[in-house]
């Protein structure tokens, strides 16, 4: 019988990500920029050194994580609002699109409104309804296909422990675009990744978080 190295390695990858985001949430209470610097350095190490890195093996040794400088104006704590009444008559698909393979079962949790300098925009927040569950906030913006992956990035993915916190009593989530990251399929098409649906396409450039160029 083969040794379960792959499964144990994957468990370690998930454990390290969960620990990283717990550290980020604690640090960010006092200093979000220091939390981001720790997140960036740790993710770079994981991408370069960990067996479960989405980066192809041949590219790991020279890998460096590219990112925009930290932008204070792109960190928000916002309430998750119910779906607008005007949209209730429009049936929401029970699945999110995926880069390859089957769609991912999900439900629409609600909507967040983001007070960007150029004006308010909204994004839908999802909940994975499969076994792992978890919050999911993907988005697309005007950097896609140039500085970032063409199909968008993630801010939150509870199934992978990517959670920046919030206040359940007030119904809020921390949404900090400085922690936006590329899905695994941005590095290697062998990965299948949930993608941002049409309603989560922003008509502005989010110059924060991980970038490809």
- Summarised one tens digit per residue, pLDDT across range 47-60 is 999 999 999 999 99
Q: What's the pLDDT score for residue 31?
A: 98
- In this structure, what are the phi and psi dihedrals at residue 111, rounded to the nearest 5 degrees? -125, 140
- DSSP secondary structure string, 68-111? PPP-GGGEEEEE-BPPPGGGTTSPPPSEE-BSSSS-EEEEEEEE
Residue 184: pLDDT above 50?
yes
Model confidence, pTM: 0.92
33 or 189: which leads in pLDDT: 33
Residue 172: pLDDT above 50?
yes
Q: How far apart are CA 31 and CA 36, in angstroms?
A: 9
182 or 101: which leads in pLDDT: 182
Q: What's the pLDDT score for residue 140?
A: 97
Q: What's the pLDDT score for residue 179?
A: 98
**2, 3, 14, 19: which is closest to 50 by C-alpha?**
14
Q: Is 62 helix (H, G, I), strand (E, B) or coil?
A: coil
Q: What's the pLDDT score for residue 185?
A: 92
Residue 1: pLDDT above 70?
no
195 within 8 A of 151, measured Cβ to Cβ: yes
Q: What's the pLDDT score for residue 85?
A: 58
- DSSP secondary structure string, 106-175? EEEEEEEEEEETTEEEEEEEEEE-SSS--EEEEEB-TTBTTTB-TT-EEEEEGGGTB-----TTTTEEEE
Q: What's the pLDDT score for residue 101?
A: 65
Quote the percentage of the chain above a pLDDT of 70. 92
- Structural domain spans, the chain: 5-211
Q: What's the pLDDT score for residue 57?
A: 96
Indicate the pLDDT class of residue 89, thresholds 50, 70 and 90: very low
- Summarised one tens digit per residue, pLDDT across range 120-161 is 999 999 998 876 789 999 999 999 999 999 999 999 999 889
Mean pLDDT, the chain, as a whole number?
A: 91
């Amino acid at each position: 019988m083969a040794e379960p190295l792959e499964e144990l390695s994957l468990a370690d990858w998930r454990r390290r990500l969960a620990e990283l985001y717990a550290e980020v949430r604690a640090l960010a209470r006092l200093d979000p920029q220091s939390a981001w610097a720790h997140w960036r350095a740790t993710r770079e190490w994981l991408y370069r050194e960990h067996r479960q890195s989405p980066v192809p093996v041949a590219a790991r040794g020279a890998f460096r994580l590219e990112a925009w400088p930290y932008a204070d104006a792109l960190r928000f704590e916002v309430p998750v609002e119910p779906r607008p009444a005007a949209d209730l008559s429009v049936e929401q698909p029970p699945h999110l699109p995926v880069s390859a393979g089957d769609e991912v079962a999900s439900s629409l949790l609600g909507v967040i409104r983001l007070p960007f300098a150029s004006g308010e925009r909204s994004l839908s927040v999802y909940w994975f309804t499969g076994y792992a569950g978890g919050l999911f906030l993907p988005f697309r913006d005007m950097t896609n296909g140039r500085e970032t992956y063409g199909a968008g990035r993630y801010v939150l993915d509870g199934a992978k422990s990517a959670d920046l916190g919030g206040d359940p009593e007030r119904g809020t989530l921390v949404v900090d675009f400085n922690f936006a990251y590329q899905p695994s399929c941005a590095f290697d098409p062998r990965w299948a990744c949930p993608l941002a649906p049409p309603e989560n396409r922003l008509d502005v450039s989010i110059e924060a978080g991980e970038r490809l160029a």
